């Protein structure tokens, strides 16, 4: 059901994201920094993949490469079968960052409408879509409020709604819940899981919270730092995500497995990926 490296989803939909031998080197003040080296990764359509690892392992850089916010120094990337730049120009993905980044001179609804304005949607259609999405993220009454009137969690929900606005098949999220408290995080995780199920989008998600990674993903990609590499991939098959699942023994087992992977120890029954450190 889930593809590992090299399997090309025979006959069915192509990979949403495909990285081969990707590397990124930054020229710093005191020499070069290899943020990423030899990354091979495939995200199948409809899959929720999380990148997890310690600070400096390059997970955010990897996401930015996919989003064409920066360019690789080695290897090839294919997003939706195209180059990242083309995918960006064709607007094939939606992105959400750690900060909501809402524009405070626009109302909540108009913030969500921003990508649609840029695509030339007419006013009525935009408004309709914004209302739809606000329902989806549970903020229907806040359409005409100012972002400054919303709490951090609510702003982040609006940012996610904005990322979904044009109905992208690929979602890129860089620690979107990082700045929130634990309770809000768990609530938003549940909503995100629901939304992704309903829209069947592929997701590349970056986090450094293990429970979050396990809760949300079909597959957790564990990375290590200096240079950033993929050390292990953990398949998570927990079925439909409910609140009860957070207390289930299978959940804890997966969390432990990911934790062990992060520490560089092999657990039982996991699939080893890529080069080991």
Binding site for other proteins (CB under 8 A): 67-69, 88-89, 91, 93, 95, 97, 99, 101, 103-106, 114-115, 117-118, 146, 148
Which residues are CB-contacts of 28 (< 8 A; sequence separation ≥ 6)? none
H-run or E-run covering 80: none
Which residue, 39 or 100, is less far from other proteins as judged by CB?
A: 100
Q: To the nearest whole angstrom, how small is the minimum distance from the Cβ of residue 147 to other proteins?
A: 8
Which residues are CB-contacts of 158 (< 8 A; sequence separation ≥ 6)? 100, 102, 108, 111, 112, 134, 137, 139, 142, 147, 150
Which residue, 106 or 226, is less far from other proteins as judged by CB?
A: 106
Sheet containing 31-44: which strands, arranged edge to edge?
Answer: 31-44, 15-28, 74-79
Q: Using N-to-C axis directions, what is the helix angle for 123-136 and 108-118, rounded to 10°?
A: 130
Longest Cα separation, the chain? 55
Which residue, 13 or 151, is less far from other proteins as judged by CB?
A: 151
Which residue, 29 or 263, is less far from other proteins as judged by CB?
A: 29
> CA-to-CA distance for 145 and 10, rounded, in angstroms?
48
Q: To the nearest whole angstrom, how small is the minimum distance from the Cβ of residue 231 to other proteins?
A: 28
**Angle at CA 29, nearest 5°, toward 24 and 30?**
90
Q: To the nearest whole angstrom, how small is the minimum distance from the Cβ of residue 92 to other proteins?
A: 10
Query: Tell me, what DSSP letter sits at residue 9?
Result: -
Which residue, 163 or 221, is less far from other proteins as judged by CB?
A: 163
**Side-chain-side CA neighbours of residue 186 (13 Å):** 9
Q: To the nearest whole angstrom, how small is the minimum distance from the Cβ of residue 272 to other proteins?
A: 34
Q: To the nearest whole angstrom, how small is the minimum distance from the Cβ of residue 209 to other proteins?
A: 21
Which residue, 68 or 132, is less far from other proteins as judged by CB?
A: 68
> CA-to-CA distance for 52 and 55, rounded, in angstroms?
9
Q: To the nearest whole angstrom, how small is the minimum distance from the Cβ of residue 220 to other proteins?
A: 25
Which residue, 98 or 184, is less far from other proteins as judged by CB?
A: 98
Q: To the nearest whole angstrom, how small is the minimum distance from the Cβ of residue 171 to other proteins?
A: 12
């Amino acid at each position: 059901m889930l593809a590992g490296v090299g399997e090309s989803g025979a006959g069915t939909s192509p990979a949403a994201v495909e990285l081969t031998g990707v590397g990124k080197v930054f020229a710093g003040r005191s020499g070069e920094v290899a943020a990423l080296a030899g990354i091979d990764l495939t995200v199948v359509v409809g899959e929720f993949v999380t990148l997890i690892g310690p600070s400096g392992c390059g997970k955010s850089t990897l996401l930015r490469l996919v989003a064409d916010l920066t360019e690789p120094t080695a290897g090839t990337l294919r997003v939706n079968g195209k180059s990242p730049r083309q995918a960006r120009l064709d607007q094939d993905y939606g992105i959400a960052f750690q900060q909501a980044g809402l524009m405070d001179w626009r109302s909540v609804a108009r913030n969500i409408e921003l990508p649609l304005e840029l695509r030339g949607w007419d006013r009525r259609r935009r408004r309709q879509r914004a209302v739809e999405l606000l329902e989806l993220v549970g903020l229907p009454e806040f359409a005409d409020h100012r972002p400054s009137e919303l709490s951090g969690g609510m702003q982040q929900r609006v940012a996610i709604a904005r990322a979904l606005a044009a109905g992208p098949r690929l979602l890129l999220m860089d620690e979107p819940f990082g700045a929130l408290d634990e309770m809000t995080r768990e609530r938003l995780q549940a909503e995100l899981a629901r939304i992704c199920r309903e829209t069947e989008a592929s997701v590349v998600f970056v986090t450094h919270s293990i429970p979050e990674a396990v809760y949300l993903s079909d597959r957790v990609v564990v990375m290590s730092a200096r240079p950033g590499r993929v050390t292990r991939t953990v398949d998570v098959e927990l079925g439909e995500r409910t609140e009860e699942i957070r207390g289930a023994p299978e959940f804890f087992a997966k969390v432990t497995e990911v934790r062990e992977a992060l520490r560089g120890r092999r657990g039982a029954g996991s699939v080893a990926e890529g080069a080991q450190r």
